[in-house]
Amino acid sequence: EFARTRLAMDMGKDNAPTSSSSNNKHKTSVQAPKTTTTRQYRGMTDVVVQICKTDGPLGLYRGYGIALVGGIFYRVLYLGGYDAVKTEYGHYKHQEQQINNSNNNNPTTFLERFALAQAIALTAGTLSYPFDTVRRRMMMQAGLLIPVKKTTASTTTSTTAQPPVHYR
């Protein structure tokens, strides 16, 4: 996951010139400026080698702790939430049958359980998403010469006297 994330962030960089329109027959069109950034990595192996050179082998595990916390948080919400909602829905359905004087003791149907599971999965994923964001950000900081210590909504500052580091 680590190397794939770092390589994905590097894919947008290229040193080939770009133009606003390659099929334009007129020579008077305005060309887009050439990009000056180059790719940092050549492949997944190169990602691992360069991170190990700058941070050592422990640099490959940045974000691992928060990934464990986020995974546990997601599973607790998913499994515990499904069990709780399924039980409560069963009680609600049973009370509704008693009010209607129905002797039909149907358990929840497959479609009802499926809808409950999907709602719980969506809720658990939404609530655990901030952990994934922090994990990816920590992974992207591996190999940086300026470690980022504090973040706010508008700027990211480091402990050194250098200018702030900003991420897209």
Structure token pair of residue 107: 């358990």
pLDDT for the residue numbered 114: 95
Q: Is the pLDDT of residue 37 over 60?
A: yes
CA angle 66, 148, 138 (to 5 degrees): 25
pLDDT for the residue numbered 115: 95
Q: Are 149 and 157 in contact (CB under 8 A)?
A: yes
pLDDT for the residue numbered 17: 47
The pTM score is 0.59
Per-residue pLDDT tens over the stretch 81-104: 999 999 999 888 888 877 777 666
Span of 1-5, 135-139, 146-150 with lowest mean pLDDT: 146-150
Residue that has been written with the tokens 């901030």 in this structure: 130
Q: What share of the chain has pLDDT > 70, as a percent?
A: 66
Report DSSP letters for 110-152, one per residue.
HHHHHHHHHHHHHHHHHHHHHHHHHHHHHHHTTT-SS-EEEE-
